[in-house]
Amino acid sequence: MIIDCHGHFTTAPAALGQWREQQITAFNDGMQAPRPSALQISDDEIRLAIEPWQLKFLHERGSDMILFSPIASHMGHSVGDEAVSRVWSQVANDLVHRACRLYPQHLAPVCQLPQSPGASPAGCIEELRRCVEDLGFVGCNLNPDPSGGFWRDPPITDPWWYPLYEEMVRLDVPAMIHVSGSCLHCVHTTGAHYLHGDTTAFMQMLTSDLFDRFPTLRFVIPHGGGAIPYHWGRYRGIAQDMGRDIDELLSNVFFDTCVYHSNGLEMLLKTIPSKNILFASEMLGAVRGVNPDTGHYYDDTKYYFDELDMLDPKDAQLIFEDNVRAIYPRLNAHLDALT
Amino acid sequence: MIIDCHGHFTTAPAALGQWREQQITAFNDGMQAPRPSALQISDDEIRLAIEPWQLKFLHERGSDMILFSPIASHMGHSVGDEAVSRVWSQVANDLVHRACRLYPQHLAPVCQLPQSPGASPAGCIEELRRCVEDLGFVGCNLNPDPSGGFWRDPPITDPWWYPLYEEMVRLDVPAMIHVSGSCLHCVHTTGAHYLHGDTTAFMQMLTSDLFDRFPTLRFVIPHGGGAIPYHWGRYRGIAQDMGRDIDELLSNVFFDTCVYHSNGLEMLLKTIPSKNILFASEMLGAVRGVNPDTGHYYDDTKYYFDELDMLDPKDAQLIFEDNVRAIYPRLNAHLDALT
């Protein structure tokens, strides 16, 4: 079985974005916000938004399942306030939940959290619990910088975040570290801000004792781990200079394979232990085109595995299926319910 | 000949840092700043600061020369104002100049620029001209974010920067893209901010037509190009989605080899054409220790080349010598003057 741990509902029906626009406009103008029930999307519209895209690519590429979450760049934690973020998260998560209910054999839900700059992460617990316990979500996306580039909140290793971590541990769900859109004109969202979020969050972990306190807390760093695996020697050396061992993080930190060329993937596979790598493509994400040299979509990361042909069956089994089941254990219940 | 394009005077005598502290304190307290002449460092102190460090490592590792610039994290463009930055740059550059005069066969000078948030880059022209025309500097370091993480100034592709680029073109000197210390508590300087500066600057170039206007302008992106080569497929795909060809940047953009493990260097060498790669170690920089697995310093990047043994002599000649001579053409005059 091949499970892609990183997909977003980037093809959601336009009505979702229109609802969100109305919500933001209402907040900015001090008007009554639209009700969640004002968003009307039929099951057929959801099918039409997914079948020609994520499901088509899933089948074409020979994968089986996607961990499916709301559009990352539209989480927009920096917009509005905590109340706005709470309602928007419910709306976005509910739509993902409906999509996953339509295709439970192919989509398992991952939620966004109602983060907001300056608001305690404890405020996310209710929505996390609703998603996981009531709706069967298997994990969440956690934004290490709700301010969208200003890094105004404490680092993710600060006690500020502990209440949320306690609930994640209790529910036994991991978080994918994922920023939302960049609020800085100079910093491109998918080309710079995303990778910076990944890299910075890892560096925060490397300079803290977070996992001593939360030994079962698990974070997935997407986009191939940002700059981290490429600079593994740098991080290993920085850790050593601090009297630490970088390998200690590997009980709690995992990297996905959203790297869109085979040289990059090869480096990742050579550098990071297989038990810490999760197959992923981020489809449909930052890159939509076909590589003219190969005839394959850039985000067809399965193709790079085939091209490299360097994994033994045991490592492949870890990367394509076993790791994601171990890190997102609620996925097993989701899969068991299908049979 | 083996030329390291990226070294900083991180071992400068303590008096330099003390002078800088006095300058900052005076600025903050509205007092008279110390005069540059108040900084007293003898030639012997400079020798003692360099011989047991950069020169020792240079010889041990079989390299010949370093392009030598002031301490990057201490450029501190976000501190004080434009006048403070101007005097500090003169002081820091003058010390680098003296060091290079003592060891002209091993050190060639690269200057910092007196940037300041909100101040026009045109204000850097006078110091750049002084360094290059009067003191024989061969290039400069350009900070794409003088605000230290807030990215408050226009992107480096904006006309805001053109006056400085016109002077760089006239003088025929390149710039290494290099941020200074992070002003954000959450963002580690050498583990996140540096790589983010590299990545973000490249992404700015990829979304602009800067090099149509300045076809001979040259930028070196340090730290192995930040996250760029690892995500080359991502950037190639993003460029393609915009109707552009990423390879067009390769007439103007170059990457150094400050990657501290052989898997990372191998990926860089496989991904980026040899004509766009410059040997470098960033010694003494972010990582000071010895890798216990190899017995070599992490920043002994020459060792990774030896370990990989994958370059043919022509490519090695480009990476170790010819590229840096072509990109920093004033280095040829520096070297010719030695014979």
Cα dihedral sign, A16-A21-A27-A32: negative
Three-state DSSP state, B236: helix
Instruction: Check residues B6 and B339 and name the one with the higher pLDDT.
Output: B6
Give every CB contact of residue A190 below 8 A, 6+ residues apart in sequence. Answer: A73, A285, A286, B234, B238
Q: Which of residues 238-297 of B touch A (CB under 8 A)?
A: 238, 240-241, 259-261, 263-264, 266-267, 270-271, 286-289, 291
pLDDT of B39:
98
pLDDT score at B6: 98
Residues in chain B: 339
The rounded distance, in Å, linking the Cα atoms of A35 and A23 is 9
**Interchain contact B122–A (C-beta under 8 A):** no
**Per-residue pLDDT band at A279 (split at 50, 70, 90):** very high
Distances in Å between the Cα of A336 and the Cα atoms of A330, A339, B87 are: 10, 6, 69
Task: Return the residue in A207, A230, A262 with the most chain B beta carbons within 10 A, the one to mutate for interface testing.
Answer: A230
- DSSP one-letter string for B61-95: TT--EEEEE--GGG--TTSS-HHHHHHHHHHHHHH
Q: pLDDT digits over B34-56, tens only?
A: 999 999 999 999 999 999 999 99
Task: Say how far apart CA A174 and CA A216 lie, in whole Å.
Answer: 9
Q: Which of A144, A195, A267 lies at the smallest CB-CB distance from B264?
A: A267
Task: Please list every residue in chain A whose beta carbon sits closer than 8 Å to the beta carbon of residue B298.
Answer: 233-234, 236-237, 240
Whether A118 and chain B come into contact, CB under 8 Å, resolves to no
Judge whether A70 is closer than 8 Å to chain B, CB to CB.
no
Task: Give the chain A residue whose CA is nearest to the CA of B156.
Answer: A186
Q: Are A24 and A111 in contact (CB under 8 A)?
A: no
Give the model's pLDDT for residue A15. Answer: 98
Integer Cα distance of B189 and A195 in angstroms: 16
pTM of this structure: 0.98
Contact pairs from chain A to chain B, CB under 8 Å: 196
With beta carbons under 8 A apart, name residues in chain B contacting A289.
237, 240-241
Determine the residue among A221, A232, A249, A263 to mutate to test chain B binding: the one whose Cβ has the most chain B Cβ atoms within 10 Å. A263
Using alpha carbons, select from B100, B98, B101, B102 the residue that is nearest to residue B90: B98
Quote the pLDDT of residue B71: 97
How many angstroms away from the CA of A151 is the closest CA of chain B? 6
Residue B6 contacts A where some CB pair is shorter than 8 Å: no
- Evaluated on CA atoms B272, B276, B281, B282, the torsion sign reads negative
Instruction: Please list the residues that pair with B237 across neighbouring strands.
Output: none
Q: What pLDDT was estimated at residue A339?
A: 82
pLDDT, average across residues A295-303:
97
Q: Over 90: is that where the pLDDT of B182 sits?
A: yes
Q: Inform me whether the pLDDT recorded for A121 exceeds 90.
A: yes
Helix (H) or strand (E) holding B142: strand B139-142
| Mean pLDDT value across residues A54-67 | 96
What average pLDDT does this structure show over B188-203?
98
Chain A contact set for B192 (CB, 8 A): 196, 199-200, 203
- The distance of A182 to chain B (nearest Cα, Å) reads 11
Q: What is the mean pLDDT of residues A4-31?
A: 98
Distance from CA of A204 to the nearest CA of B (A): 7
State the number of CA atoms in the 13 A half-sphere of B280 facing the CB. Answer: 28
8-state DSSP, B69: E
CA-based end-to-end distance of chain B: 14
Place of tokens 């996953």: A100
Alpha-carbon gap: B169 to the closest alpha carbon of chain A (Å): 24
Q: Say whether B185 and A234 touch across the interface (CB within 8 A).
A: no
Measured between alpha carbons, how far is A56 from A8 in angstroms, rounded to an integer?
15
Contacts of A154 in chain B (CB under 8 A): 186
Residue B162 · residue B140 · CB < 8 Å: no
Average pLDDT, chain B: 97
As annotated, the active-site residues of A are 282
- Interface contact flag, A264 B267, Cβ < 8 Å: yes
What is the reported pLDDT for A41? 98
Using a CB-CB cut-off of 8 Å, the residues of chain A touching B144 are: 186
Decide if B234 and A271 are in contact by the 8 Å CB cutoff: no
Select the residue of B237, B287, B291 nearest A287 (Cβ to Cβ). B237
Query: Tell me, what's the ipTM?
Result: 0.98
**Residues 6+ away with beta carbon under 8 Å from B174:** B139, B140, B168, B217, B218, B219, B220, B254, B327, B328
pLDDT at res. B101 = 97
Q: What is the CA radius of gyration of chain A?
A: 19
Residue B234 contacts A, CB cutoff 8 Å: yes
Enumerate the residues of chain A whose CB falls inside 8 A of the CB of residue B271. 261, 263-264
Q: Identify all chain A residues contacting B286, using CB atoms and an 8 Å cutoff.
A: 234, 237-238
Q: How far apart (Å, rounded) are the C-alpha atoms in residues B218 and B143?
A: 14
Report yes or no: B275 and B323 within 8 Å, Cβ to Cβ: yes
Q: In chain B, helix, strand, coil percent, each to 5?
A: 50, 10, 40
Mutate to test the interface with A, among B177, B261, B303 (most CBs of A within 10 A): B261
C-alpha distances (whole Å) from A290 to each of A222, A296, B233, B238 are 21, 5, 11, 11
Q: Which of A190, A191, A231 sits opposite B264 (nearest CB)?
A: A231
Min distance B264 CA to chain A CA atoms (Å): 5
Which residue among B187, B196, B260 sits closest to A237, beta carbon to beta carbon? Answer: B260
Considering only CB atoms, which chain B residues are within 8 Å of A191? Answer: 199, 203, 206-207, 234-235, 238
B208 interface with A at CB cutoff 8 Å: no
Each residue's pLDDT tens digit, B104-127? 999 999 999 999 999 999 999 999
Angle between helices B194-206 and B232-241 (to 10 degrees): 30
Q: How far apart are CA A143 and CA A175, in angstroms?
A: 9
Whole-angstrom Cα distance, residue B50 to residue B110? 16
- Using a pLDDT cut of 70, give the percent of chain B over it: 100
Which residues of B are catalytic, by number?
Answer: 282
> Which of B 165-184 lie inside 8 A of A, CB atoms?
184
Provide the pairing of β-strand A175-177 with A139-142: parallel
By C-alpha distance, which of A128, A136, A130 is closest to A97?
A136
Q: Hey, what are B278's tokens?
A: 């410059």
- At residue A88 the predicted structure's pLDDT band, cuts being 50, 70 and 90, is very high
pLDDT range class, residue B339, cuts 50, 70, 90: confident
Calculate mean pLDDT across residues B170-177: 98
Q: What are the tokens at B7?
A: 């070294």
Contacts of B189 in chain A (CB under 8 A): none
Total Cβ atoms within 10 A of residue A327 = 22
**CA A329 – CA A338 distance, rounded (Å):** 15
Q: What percent of chain A has pLDDT over 90?
A: 99
Of A154, A224, A289, the CB nearest to B237: A289
Q: Do B227 and A232 touch (CB under 8 A)?
A: no
Integer Rg of chain B from CA: 19
Could you tell me which residues are beta bridge partners of residue B253?
A: B219
Residues in chain A closer than 8 A to B232 (CB atoms) = 261, 263-264
**Whether the predicted pLDDT of A321 surpasses 90:** yes
pLDDT for res B136:
98
Q: Which of B177, B186, B238, B299 to mutate to test the interface with A (most CBs of A within 10 A)?
A: B186
Residue with token string 């979500």? A137
